[in-house]
Structure 1
Amino acid sequence: MFKCVAALVAFVALLVPGLGKAAEFEKNIMTGGPQGTYIRIGRDIADLGKSCGLTLNVRETAGSLENFVGVRNRRNTQFGIVQNDVLEYLKTFEANDPEVQQAVRGVRIMFPLYNEEVHLLARSDIRSVAELAGKKVAIGVKDSGTFLTASLILDILQVKLGERVLVNPDAALPKLQSGEIDALFYVAGAPAPLFRDNRIDGAKFHLLPITDAPLLATYIRSRIERGTYDFQTEPVDLIAVKAVMMTYDYDVTRNAYQRESCKAVSDFSSLILNNLDRLKENGHPKWKDVDLTALPPGWQVGVCVRAGMALDYRPACIAQGAPDDASGGNEEYLDLLKQRLKQN
């Protein structure tokens, strides 16, 4: 009888994938909208994990603010991509705001990524940010990085809109094309698929330059070269923010969940650090701009990230005997990164 049951279980295990072995610990990265750069970057990281036998679920979100909170509060969510000006905003208010203090507690930098250009697509008769006064402008959905950046820019420059339209850029573009709104903000690494993959009439719409001096204390000078988008015939000088990958500072002594999450962070830290050339060659074009040493001042790197940066660290797939393609010649780069960490 028992032999028959055992044989039946063994037979069913052959038919049902995964039966008889422990389920893989769930890992998620919060990214952004379906046509944004964040989600493409997240998929590149997930593909890197897949090559190591590690599953990373790429989650579509509203953007930076949701991602920051999600890393701290959402279960099985170890990673999120956030704009640097969101971090600056939170740091500014942390000292005197208990709610902000609670929001940032335990959240840590994993790696700085690339610069994201602030796209401001407007009717062709609007020539400057100041001329948006009194106009209807889409500034992104609440909790998105675009929403925060657009709000900060307008507040810094004291531009009073006729209406701040709270829709995401995907929904805002057809509204602009139909004349329902006058302009839209979109913070995304160029080339942004939204503008690259949709037909935009260059005679009716253009990217506004954003060069106002008061913004340069917070944002980075940048330029979108001519021809980046089909409708763009001239280079455009504007500003950019830094995209940053965030995680949580897990405590391996606390419980099994914290240990597994910390291990996931260490594994992906090691994989990204040691496969950056591969990402630059095969991933989204923005990987070519990534400098993992460009750490935002005032933010700490978590202990699980530091563990994964050790030269002798090996991700789970390599420890289990997979080909060792995640090590190789990064000693000088790692030394520079550690120097930057000491400065923070």
Structure 2
Amino acid sequence: MRAGLFIALIAAAWLGGQVHDSLAQTQPSASQREPAKAPPRKESVPRKETGRSADPYTVGFVAGTPQCTEFAIAQDIASMLASGQETGPHGEVALRVLPIVGNGGTRNVLDVLTLAGADVAIAPVVLVDRLREAKTFGDISDKLAYIAPLYIEEFHLLARPEIAGLTDLAGKRVNLGEDGSAGAVLGREVLNRLGVKISESNLGPDAALEGMQKGDISAALLVSGKPVSFLARTGQADGIHFLPIPYSKELMQQDYLPSTLRHEDYPNIIGVDAPVDTIAIKSALYAYNWPARNERFGLLELFVQTLFTRFPEFLGDAHHPKWREVNLAALLPGWRRFRPAERWLQQQTGGEAALRKAFGRFLESQPAANPPDREELFREFLRWRERNPGR
């Protein structure tokens, strides 16, 4: 009996060892379970999802964070284009625009290059140029096309009261925005060019402002078109103010432009006679260069025709002031324009033709006696256009 018990124990131990060895062969090691941290490859273009969209009438519009002007512009387009259209047999809207939250930087470009439902995006021109030159996502020259240049995006550098100038930021914690955003990529570059060494933080706008109010962050950068509604609602809490960013043609070369933040832009932060000098970058509306045989090409063609035809409606007071900087016919050197946009401009002999024709009809409706000055008359015309969108 003892011999039988001894043999049973040996058999159990042997079976346990076999099970352990089997599990060791099937389970990955700790190093296998952890994702590899190899640098991203730069020679291959990200693959675009080309399957049929769940909604073939919806254009995916990648913008910035919900607090930024780029998202407000996307919402302007979505709201305007949804109105005044005929619907389908089941009540569906013929053309819809779906704003998609991005980071205003590299993610916007990557989303358009990869996601089936992402067709267009607002992105800084200098950033897209850098991605193309460095081949970060491979050769994207034929994958992206521009619909139109848009407006400039200003650098907004908020600082705590003890920070009087850029030199005071040396060694301090400064938030440049989410990783890959225009603020993170270009803000880092600008501060390095200016010789300001900081401790970088990469938080969203809300978290950055909260960190400044608590004293955890000394300054925060936001790159977006002025006025940014998120900042316009911000008061001079705890002495938070804008820091000037000096413009130097030799230092900035052709990548950046001089700009100014004024009391009219941020009355709760900037005094009446205390403008703040800063720098800015150009932005543009880019599209995925769908092949003509793809259903998304036809959808984008309808999007361009509708947007360009109704462009004068965006110039009224109800929409963001940045619309008044847009010239649809302007060129973007080094890039090809999306083919339907180029055809529309050629047919219309310039993006301003429809606006001038509408302005002439407006003048005919005004009394001839004691006309106001042209600027005031033009503003009245824009308000008239909003009340009479079909004329």
- Structure 1 length-normalised TM: 0.76
Partner of 1:235: 275
1:196 correspondence with 2:237: no
Amino acid at match of 2:328: L
Amino acid at match of 1:48: M
Partner of 1:272: 307
For the residues of structure 2 that align with 1:67 and 1:237, how far apart are their CA atoms?
A: 28
CA deviation digits over 1:77-123, x for unaligned, max 9?
111110122123224424xxxx4434554111111111111000012
Q: CA deviation at 1:65?
A: 1.1
Greater RCO, 1 or 2 (C-alpha within 8 Å, sep 6+)? 1
Partner of 1:187: 223
Q: Which of 100, 104, 119 lines up with 2:156 in the alignment? A: 119
1:222 correspondence with 2:259: yes
Contact persistence 2:56–2:296 (CA under 8 A): no
Describe the SS at the equivalent of 2:303. Answer: helix
Partner of 1:73: 114
Describe the SS at the equivalent of 1:311. Answer: helix
For the residues of structure 2 that align with 1:204 and 1:272, how far apart are their CA atoms?
A: 42
CA deviation digits over 1:31-69, x for unaligned, max 9?
111111011100111123212341111111222211111
Partner of 1:317: none
Q: CA deviation at 1:291?
A: 2.0
State which drifts further: 143-152 or 183-192: 143-152
For the residues of structure 2 that align with 1:132 and 1:218, how far apart are their CA atoms?
A: 23
Unpaired stretches in structure 1, ≥5 consecutive residues = 1-21, 313-326, 332-344
Partner of 1:209: 244
1:89 correspondence with 2:89: no
Describe the SS at the equivalent of 1:277. Answer: helix
- Structure 2 length-normalised TM: 0.68
Q: Identity percentage over the alignment?
A: 27
Work out which of the two has the higher radius of gyration on C-alpha atoms and give 1 or 2.
2
CA deviation digits over 1:293-327, x for unaligned, max 9?
34332121122332444538xxxxxxxxxxxxxx9
Aligned in 2, Cα 1:285/1:227: closer, same or farther, shift over 3 Å? closer
Give the paired residue count.
Answer: 287
State which drifts further: 74-83 or 219-228: 219-228
For the residues of structure 2 that align with 1:243 and 1:129, how far apart are their CA atoms?
A: 25
Partner of 2:289: 249
Runs of 4+ in 1 over 6 A off after TM superposition: none
Give the CA RMSD over aligned residues.
Answer: 2.5
Q: CA deviation at 1:23?
A: 5.7
Describe the SS at the equivalent of 1:121. Answer: strand
Unpaired stretches in structure 2, ≥5 consecutive residues = 1-53, 86-93, 358-391
